């Protein structure tokens, strides 16, 4: 089973401060369960979880989908 993984990094650390792993099969209902920080980060960047699921199914993508970084933190969204 493929998973959508969202990782949050602080201050250019190599290990993530927080990781959220979501089975692709649950993406359509998971929006209500995500922490506020994860939701706001995704919304801020215009990322729609349902579209990530559709894209993964159609294209068979695996690996990093998007990486958002500023001087103090980084967010990586990938399919594994």
What per-residue confidence (pLDDT) applies to 39? 76
Helices (H) and strands (E) in the chain, counts: 3, 4
Buried b (16+ CB within 10 A) or exposed e, 24-50: beebeebeeebeeebeebbeeeebebe
39-55 pLDDT, tens per residue? 777 777 777 776 776 76
Residue 72 CB burial class (10 angstroms; 0-12, 13-18, ≥19): exposed
Instruction: Give the mean model confidence (pLDDT) for residues 19-34.
Output: 77
Per the confidence metrics, is the pTM higher than 0.75? no
């Amino acid at each position: 089973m493929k998973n959508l993984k969202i990782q949050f990094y602080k201050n250019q650390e190599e290990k993530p401060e927080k990781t959220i792993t979501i089975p692709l099969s649950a993406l359509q209902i998971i929006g209500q369960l995500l922490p506020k920080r994860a939701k706001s980060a995704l919304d801020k960047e215009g990322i729609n979880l349902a579209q990530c699921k559709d894209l993964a199914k159609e294209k068979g993508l695996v690996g990093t989908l998007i990486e958002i970084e500023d001087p103090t933190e980084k967010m990586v969204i990938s399919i594994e």
